[in-house]
Chain A
Amino acid sequence: MSHAEQTMDFAEAMERFDPVLGFEVHVELNTATKIFSSAPNAFGDEPNTNVTPLDLGLPGTLPVLNREAVEYAIHLGVALDAQVAETCRFARKNYFYPDTPKNFQTSQYDEPIVFDGHLDVELEDGEVFRVEIERAHLEDDAGKLTHVGGSGRIQGASASLVDYNRAGVPLIEIVTKPIVGAGARAPELARAYVTAIRDIVKAIGISDARMEHGNVRCDANVSLMEKGADRFGTRTETKNVGSTRAVQQAVTHEIQRQAAVLAAGGTVTQETRHWHEDTRTTTSGRPKSDADDYRYFPEPDLVPVHVDAAWIERVRAELPELPAVRNRRLKGEWGFSDAEFRDVVNAGVADQIAETVEAGASAAAARKWWMGEIARLANVAEKEVAELGVTPAHVVEVEELIAAKTINDKIAKQVLGFVAEGEGSPKEIVEARSLAVVSDDGALTAAVDAAIADNPDVVAKIQGGKMAAVGALIGPVMKATRGQADAGRVREIVLERLGVG
């Protein structure tokens, strides 16, 4: 089935062709109920329990629009600086598939609720690329299919199981205009665009935006045209790419594959393609055919939606701060340089730093820990920083322990490691593992006396005025106390005992 296709070296492809991109991003809205029925909109429940007769496509059922879904769409429209349609309608998109029991998807066709917007996407080096938004429309999600037999793939399956819990979950599909001029940065832009959409829908609270749960799914359209050409090439549509990294890889692969096809004198087939995470390649799905004649017509069971200016203005006034605006504000408040702040954003720890600062730590300290030891621990564990188990509250606690001179920086790093391993909060760990710095003079004096007795030559040097040799006595004391001695206090005691300084 999936045979490897020829690809062209990316740099070579970029010398010959200009890529043109387009994205359709489906966002699941986090309303309490579905878009046209009162069944709960929830992920991970027992199959076929979040359903009403409407979600099963049973005869005689009628849809009623969830007001909140419209409200959320307006939020998105305002966030994308787009037009919100004064009136819009729903339409039936007719096709037969077991995940769609009513035999049509209720969508919007010629009257999307949101149109003509734009999004300024920041690339990793800070360059800003404007992506024009063609439209965003409301529709219902389909049920979830599990294929039985045929090793879980649809090909060769003996039967399929259907869970309709997802059927009717509100979706908003965001469609870009063709994106030209990104050149070799097209794959990077693809990733940055989907990331920006994900961050916006999360920030304005209309979606949980968890790509691993399928809350945000991307169809990536790619075509190539010869350098200097003024007509777009034939495009392919890679379906359901499920992570921001995969979007970048899928676009890279399609560029390389299409370049090889065109360079060999072939033509690109207009088709849907499937993304394979394991091989990082796409394979042919089905070509566009008769079956794509969806016979859209206005949905007779739903009445038009009218959004007046007052509604839009109320939403605009309530809209939370957008990620780009928030980033500008935080950068100023934290006093980070452009490069420092960009590194923080690219490392995905801006939220953690913000929460840590909010909880009482300084921005510099928060940055030090999240970009330093915690990032290192996450890297070693091959996890996202957010999944490591270290929270902003933990970082604040570590800072408090350091400020109280209970631990030093070196011990703090060990403590964070134990926090990541699930041993508890920093204070609990310091207590349980007896990691507190020893500043008890009795214990320290004994260790200092031992060091003096063991190193008469060093003592002679110090008494002879070579103060730099003090370090050679502090070392053994630190060792004797397993690094938990307060080095400053040890130095004072050494000088006292030797009667110098």
Chain B
Amino acid sequence: MPEITRDQVEHLARLAHIRMTDEELDTMSGDLEKILEHVSAVQAAAGDDVTPTSHPIALENVFREDVPAGMLTQEEALDQAPDSEDGQFKVPAILDGE
């Protein structure tokens, strides 16, 4: 059974840009381990004859035709942006604090 360490949770939180308290890190490592344990029951049930799937419904080749449609105007695109300039989204300095 995989062991989920506190360090791993901290690493994941950092990658996912989620701020977690010490307490949360402690409880989350135990919680994640339980979840993995639960899911592994499914893995155990699947024999070699069952191929891994990423989708619950057996579908393939769902395609769209190559025809333009449904564009937003620039105004609509920027409508929800916290800040914009010259028709573009304005974001804080990327390297700030690195």
Contacts and interface: CB of A to CB of B under 8 A. Distances in A.
Contacts, number: 137
A48 B88 contact: yes
B93 A161 contact: no
Contacts of B59: 303
Given A48-B78, A161-B86, A293-B15, A67 B95 contact: no
Given A157-B93, A157-B94, A159-B90, A89 B77 contact: no
Given A52-B71, A94-B15, A159 B91 contact: yes
Contact of A162 (B11, B55, B89): B89
Contact of B17 (A64, A96, A298, A306): A96
A33 interface: yes
Contact of B66 (A67, A87, A299): A67
Given A68-B66, A293-B15, A52 B72 contact: yes
B19 to A, nearest CB: 14
Of the four ranges (under 10, 10 to 19, 20 to 34, 35 or more), the interface on chain B belongs to 35 or more
A322 B78 CA distance: 44
Contacts of A98: 89, 91, 94
A65 B62 contact: yes
Given A33-B68, A39-B68, A65 B88 contact: no
Interface residues of A, number: 55
Nearest to B15: A293
A65 B67 contact: no
A40 B68 contact: yes
A56 B87 CA distance: 14
A30 to B, nearest CB: 11
A142 to B, nearest CB: 13
Contact of B70 (A39, A58, A298): A39
Given A51-B77, A64-B62, A46 B71 contact: no
A158 B74 CA distance: 24
B11 A47 contact: no
A38 B70 contact: yes
B64 interface: yes
B21 interface: no
A162 B54 contact: no
Chain B CB within 10 Å, residue with most, of A37, A161, A298, A306: A161
B35 interface: no
B63 A67 contact: yes
Contacts of B94: 97-98, 145, 147, 154, 157, 160
A52 B77 CA distance: 8
A300 B52 CA distance: 13
Given A67-B64, A306-B60, 5 more contacts: A148-B85, A161-B90, A291-B15, A295-B15, A298-B54
